[in-house]
Amino acid sequence: MSTPLHPTADAASRLFGGHFGAEPEGTWSAPGRVNLIGEHTDYNDGFVLPFAIQHRTHVALGLQVAERRSIRVVSTFDAGAVEVPLDELDDLFPSRRDEIVEWARYPLGVAWALLHAAGRDTASVTGVDLAFAADVPVGAGLSSSAAIEGATATALDEVWNLDLDPVTLAQVGRRAENEAVGAPTGIMDQMASMLGRTDAATFLDCRSLEANVIDLGFAAAGLELVVIDTGVKHSHATGGYGERRSACERGAAIMGVPALRDVSIDDLARAAELMDDVTFRRVRHVVTENQRVLDTVRTVREQGPTAIGDLLVASHASMRDDFEISVPELDTAVEAALAAGAVGARMTGGGFGGAAIALVRRADVEKVTDAVNAAFAASGFSAPTIFTVTPSAGAHRDA
């Protein structure tokens, strides 16, 4: 092989060899993402502006001997190896999913959803072995789950000759997450992971699934995107995420529209009269956040990325006060970064923990990092993990 493998791809290959005692057929990978702006808008048929990051999940895959007819999965991030006969996938998902250790529901759920999307019977495909390794931080709000889904879907699509397009593969990942894992999430993370481009974000209309590449120009503007992982773990399969989603559905029903995408800023005065205060504030977040995504896209194009800072800050305030999905660690990260000179900052992802992002002039990165670390120490929070990310390529075959 002419190009050396990425260290994580190499780790997946080595795990494959150690566990299955053979050489893999190849390795595939998909990235995590950060969301620049557009939070909790995806399942409201709205707009989002995420980008894929350089952290990826790699999968080494091999075809089984014909008579084995199962899927075996193993990973460096969880001790539990799992084997499921291909013919049992339909019995397992979704009703018996709890019998599978949680991390394995992602790749096995993808296999299940993929065959359905392709209209293929399990009898028509060969059994496969998959070994995963990842450098996407788990539980940090950087979509480690979409990275597993994207890598699995891309690999299986190829070796099973399904020939599905990237948007369909993103939908497969979302179905796996919703039905095989049980997290009622939207389509943003999977689309960002499948469609990522170097130096660009994906501007996605979550109703039509039309995606446009938006050049960010961070490097040319001397900007870095700093991630502050608070270390506060969250799960979207339980609690707050689903409650917010229900509040949005309730709000849309009261307004008599299919989704909050159809409510405009001008409708908000009427919404305030029709619904209770909590539901109204959930609605106001989504409606104003959709507008902020559109404004961010326009501002990047017309004035460059340094001009989007206020929109990021307004997005954070809306999530903190109206949608109420921030936590003290995220607020502290955002406030300390801004006080130290960040152009803009906000929490990213589903909330209740995870990471914040700060858009920072290159010369200020160290100052911002030190300020955030100091603020966490002063508040008695565990030290955050701080690193920069670059907009990177989406899912693909590595070797």
Query: Active-site positions?
Result: 189
* Span near ligand GLA by CB under 6 A; candidates 128-136, 160-168, 185-193, 227-235: 185-193
Query: Which x/- pattern over 225-254 shows residues binding ligand GLA (rule: CB under 6 A)?
Result: -----------x------------------
Beta strands 396-397 and 26-37, pairing class: antiparallel
Residue number with CB closer to ligand GLA (42 or 364): 42
Does 354 engage in binding with ligand GLA (CB under 6 A)?
no
The least distance separating ligand GLA from the CB of residue 226, rounded to whole angstroms, comes to 19
DSSP state of 92: H
Does 137 engage in binding with ligand GLA (CB under 6 A)?
no
CA distance 270 to 252: 13
- The answer to whether residues 136 and 33 touch, using CB atoms and an 8 Å cutoff, is no
The least distance separating ligand GLA from the CB of residue 249, rounded to whole angstroms, comes to 13
Does 186 engage in binding with ligand GLA (CB under 6 A)?
yes
Does 135 engage in binding with ligand GLA (CB under 6 A)?
no
* Span near ligand GLA by CB under 6 A; candidates 15-23, 183-191, 209-217, 359-367: 183-191
Residue number with CB closer to ligand GLA (127 or 349): 349
The residue with tokens 């390795």 is: 27
CA distance 3 to 52: 22
DSSP 177-202: IIIII-----SHHHHHHHH-BTTEEE
Element containing residue 204 per DSSP (H, E): strand 200-205
Q: Terminus-to-terminus CA distance in the chain, angstroms?
A: 8
The least distance separating ligand GLA from the CB of residue 20, rounded to whole angstroms, comes to 31
Bridge partners (DSSP) listed for residue 128: 63, 71
Residue number with CB closer to ligand GLA (189 or 329): 189
Tokens representing 90? Answer: 């339909």
Residue nearest to ligand GLA (CB): 350
- The answer to whether residues 89 and 107 touch, using CB atoms and an 8 Å cutoff, is no
The residue with tokens 């993929």 is: 114
Does 109 engage in binding with ligand GLA (CB under 6 A)?
no
Does 185 engage in binding with ligand GLA (CB under 6 A)?
yes
Q: Which residues of this chain interact with ligand GLA, rule CB under 6 A?
A: 35, 39-40, 42-43, 185-186, 188-189, 236, 349-350
